[in-house]
């Protein structure tokens, strides 16, 4: 529901050089729901679970042309900014981001 993992990722990578990021949820009732405008804005889209990638493709197929979608395979068992989640995000996401200069 876009309450723990994605907002944590947004906070972790908000200050990364060359990165603009936001988080959004795919479920009805998400705190910050995903929109076609957000998809069009993004160069790279991360999802936490395979089911999210499937949902994304189904709901926004017409907007995903040329977009890279990366599944991080991070289960929904972390609280906001949990140290283990931050460590996992850094390990899985950083290689996709521009390197600091």
pLDDT band at 62 (very low <50, low <70, confident <90, very high): very high
Task: Identify which of 25, 3, 35, 19 has the alpha carbon closest to the alpha carbon of residue 94.
Answer: 19
Q: Which residues contact 63 (CB under 8 A, 6 or more apart)?
A: 36, 39, 40
The pLDDT tens digits of the residues spanning 4-60 come to: 999 999 999 999 999 999 999 998 888 899 999 999 999 999 999 999 999 999 999
Q: Which residues contact 15 (CB under 8 A, 6 or more apart)?
A: none
pTM: 0.91
What pLDDT is recorded for position 29?
A: 86
Q: What is the largest CA-CA distance in the chain?
A: 40
What pLDDT is recorded for position 28?
A: 84
DSSP class of residue 48 equals S
């Amino acid at each position: 529901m876009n309450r723990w993992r994605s907002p944590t990722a947004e906070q972790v990578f908000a200050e990364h050089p060359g990165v603009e990021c936001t988080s959004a949820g795919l479920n009805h009732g998400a705190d910050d729901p995903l929109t076609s405008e957000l998809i069009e804005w993004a160069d790279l889209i991360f999802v936490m679970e395979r089911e999210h990638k499937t949902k994304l493709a189904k709901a926004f197929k017409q907007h995903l042309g040329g977009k890279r979608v990366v599944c991080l395979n991070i289960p929904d068992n972390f609280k906001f900014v949990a140290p283990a989640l931050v460590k996992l995000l850094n390990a899985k996401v950083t290689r996709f981001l521009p390197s600091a200069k």
